[in-house]
Amino acid sequence: MTVERMLRGLAGFFVLLSVILAYKHSLYWLWFTAFVGVNLLQSAFTNWCPMMTILRKFGVKG
């Protein structure tokens, strides 16, 4: 699996998890959803995402 596919999968997982946590526990979890969205948006313009760096350090192929 490539870094980009792993990144998309993790972003989707984090968004779904934070929405579920917002529904079950506190609406403040939606701030985490916003954080993921902002990171995805800035990576579209800069072609750099902190999670991509982390995934590469864990050995995911580019």
Q: Quick check: is 31 in a domain? A: yes
> What tokens does 31 get?
């701030």
Beta bridge partners of residue 61, listed in sequence order:
2
Q: Quick check: is 42 in a domain? A: yes
48 C-beta neighbours (distance < 10 Å), count = 9
pLDDT of res. 62: 77
> At residue 6, does pLDDT exceed 80?
yes
Q: Quick check: is 14 in a domain? A: yes
pLDDT (tens digit, 9 = 90+) per residue, 8-45? 999 999 999 999 999 999 999 999 999 999 999 999 99
Q: Quick check: is 62 in a domain? A: no
Domain that includes residue 37, residue range: 3-57
How many folded domains does the chain comprise? 1
